[in-house]
Chain A
Amino acid sequence: MSQTIEPDRLSSLEDVELIVDADAHAQASWDDIRAHLDDDHRRFERFFEQSPAPGTEMNLYHSPTPTYLYEDMTDGEEDPAGLYDDAKLEETAAVTERIGVDAGVVNPTLILNLNFIRERDYAVAIMQGYNDWLVSELDAYDNLVGNLVVAPHDPHRSAEEIDRLADEADVAGVQLLGTALLPPAGHASYDPIYEAAAANDLPISMHTSGAGMKPFPEQSYWAETYAEDHVTQHPFAHVTNAASLLLQGVPERFPDLTFVFQEAGIGYVPYLLRRLDTAYHEFGHEIPALPNPPREYVADSFYWCTQPLGHTAETPRHLAWIVELIGPENILFAADAPHPDFDTPEELFDRVRAYFGADAINDMMGQNAVEVYDI
């Protein structure tokens, strides 16, 4: 690959048609979720009321990533415990605009840990409370759409939840959280979720999460610090879920369903894809579900979010190589607004603009996301 200046190269972010953050975050508080519990789930209200911080037991480290940009916290927040309070989607919408992103696809923050919950009804209640909160909040923001969460503890009620809210204008997809997803995503038990998503034309997004007592990926048990956990668990969870989806034949059984992998960067993807194709030949007897090589399903229906890219200014061409190995048509720019490990659009655009034509750049920065999430 050579860096030659071709006539169709974009030279400025201003020339990009539309920039979409395929992985923005909402900061629903427990109060927000409680306030939206429907009659079936009111019995959990007492628990929410009595617990000073429901979910605190999920946090194992003294310093997981905070939820807002560092500069915003030093500006405003005096009480760190209040980080989740009364934020709604304001901060997400504001940071999205501030870093030059036109639209964001919102995913949860506090309940990234929904899968850690063991009690099925409780998980279903949180799913319902969060989704109703999300749908009501999104109405106020023109630059945000969102993913409904589902509770893999109960695939049938998750499917009903998708059917219930899929027609809301700001619902862009379904969030099947990737961390602590046991069994992994290719298991037959999740078919009702995939059926409902496909029937409603909604993509499945899979977001991984950091801090917390999670049974999967198992490496997490031995991480003494958040840093150790964060480095390993995001890509490990995605690798396991993607391999499970592909080798169990989910894309063959749901050919119209799209999958988006969030929050792990893209460096692991070329390695994973080539390893899958090798396994496809070496262990063909175990992979009868796929009549075609994994890379063909990946090209058709898997998308990879770029954030966090790391320190790409060191050698921009290396990032361009990774993009080329995956294919720009399967890459979604993600900022992770408003979290403090965010990437600005420049972090991707500036490094790769000289290596790809205008169409490929526009696709990565926003058009692919417009297509996937029907924004």
Chain B
Amino acid sequence: MTERYPVADATELSEDGSRVIAEVRGQEIAVFRHDGDYYAVANYCIHQGGPLCEGALSGRMTTSEDGWDWRYDEDEKYVVCPWHGWQFDITTGRSPKDERYAVPTYDVEVDDGTVYAVR
């Protein structure tokens, strides 16, 4: 049975790239604002248990067609774990490097100026 838990006032997440980290039933969950939407991710890196969502948000390095030139994709939707640098897409929870790896994500609801995580 899922329930929704208030994690923030919407004014705290008024800008893209902002985040709040709240405790929900004993677990830390971060809610990010990205490209106008909200995304909730467990503050727990599956690599070695680091506080994943305290890390920076980043874009992603890619390559040109021939594989040699590097390009920076500025869509900053990857949270970088402050412990070992593992990255996860906050919109899906998946590692951009290896789809076998993912961290838990949660639905987000906004109701009357309050942001809720659904768990």
B113 adjacent to chain A (CB < 8 Å): no
Q: How far is the CA of A289 from the CA of B65 in the complex (A)?
A: 10
Q: Is the CB of A281 within 8 A of B97?
A: yes
Q: Is the CB of B63 within 8 A of A284?
A: no
Q: Is the CB of B84 within 8 A of A281?
A: yes
Which residue of A is nearest B101, CB measured? A281
B44 adjacent to chain A (CB < 8 Å): no
Interface size class of B (residues with CB under 8 A): 20 to 34
Q: Is the CB of A252 within 8 A of B67?
A: yes
Interface size class of A (residues with CB under 8 A): 10 to 19
If the complex has contacts A292-B98, A293-B97, are A284 and B61 also in contact, measured as CB distance less than 8 A?
A: yes
Q: How far is the CA of A277 from the CA of B85 in the complex (A)?
A: 13
Q: Is the CB of B70 within 8 A of A280?
A: no
Which residue of B is nearest A280, CB measured? B97
Q: How far is the CA of A286 from the CA of B60 in the complex (A)?
A: 10
If the complex has contacts A288-B62, A292-B98, are A282 and B85 also in contact, measured as CB distance less than 8 A?
A: yes
A12-39 CB mask vs B (1 if < 8 Å, else 0) is 0000000000000000000000000000
Q: Is the CB of A284 within 8 A of B96?
A: yes
Among A252, A281, A285, A293, contact of B47 (Cβ-Cβ < 8 Å)? A281
Interface of chain B: mostly helix, strand, loop or mixed: loop
Among A249, A253, A281, contact of B85 (Cβ-Cβ < 8 Å)? A281
Which residue of B is nearest A295, CB measured? B98
If the complex has contacts A249-B67, A252-B67, are A284 and B62 also in contact, measured as CB distance less than 8 A?
A: no
B window 38-92: CB within 8 A of A: 47, 58, 60-63, 66-68, 70-71, 84-87
**Using Cβ atoms and an 8 Å threshold, which residues of chain A touch B95?**
281
Which residue of A is nearest B84, CB measured? A282
**Using Cβ atoms and an 8 Å threshold, which residues of chain B touch A288?**
60-63, 70-71
A222 adjacent to chain B (CB < 8 Å): no
Which residue of B is nearest A191, CB measured? B68
> Shortest beta-carbon distance, B60 to chain A, in Å?
8
**Using Cβ atoms and an 8 Å threshold, which residues of chain B touch A252?**
67
Among B47, B67, B98, contact of A289 (Cβ-Cβ < 8 Å)? B67
B14-53 CB mask vs A (1 if < 8 Å, else 0) is 0000000000000000000000000000000001000000
Q: How far is the CA of A305 from the CA of B98 in the complex (A)?
A: 28
* Most B-side CB within 10 Å, residue of A277, A286, A293: A293
Q: Is the CB of A188 within 8 A of B68?
A: yes
Q: Is the CB of B67 within 8 A of A253?
A: yes
* Most B-side CB within 10 Å, residue of A188, A249, A253, A288: A288
> Shortest beta-carbon distance, B4 to chain A, in Å?
32
Among A249, A280, A285, contact of B98 (Cβ-Cβ < 8 Å)? A280
**Using Cβ atoms and an 8 Å threshold, which residues of chain A touch B47?**
281
Which residue of A is nearest B66, CB measured? A253
**Using Cβ atoms and an 8 Å threshold, which residues of chain B touch A293?**
97-98
A236-278 CB mask vs B (1 if < 8 Å, else 0) is 0000000000000100110000000000000000000000010
Residues of A within 8 A of B (CB): 188, 249, 252-253, 277, 280-289, 292-293
Given known contacts A284-B96, A293-B97, what 16 new A-B pairs fall within 8 Å (CB)? A280-B98, A281-B47, A281-B86, A281-B87, A281-B95, A281-B98, A281-B101, A282-B85, A284-B85, A285-B60, A285-B61, A287-B61, A288-B60, A288-B63, A288-B70, A288-B71
Q: List 11 A-B contacts (CB under 8 A).
A: A188-B68, A249-B63, A280-B97, A280-B98, A281-B85, A281-B98, A282-B84, A284-B60, A284-B61, A287-B61, A288-B62
Residues of B within 8 A of A (CB): 47, 58, 60-63, 66-68, 70-71, 84-87, 95-98, 101
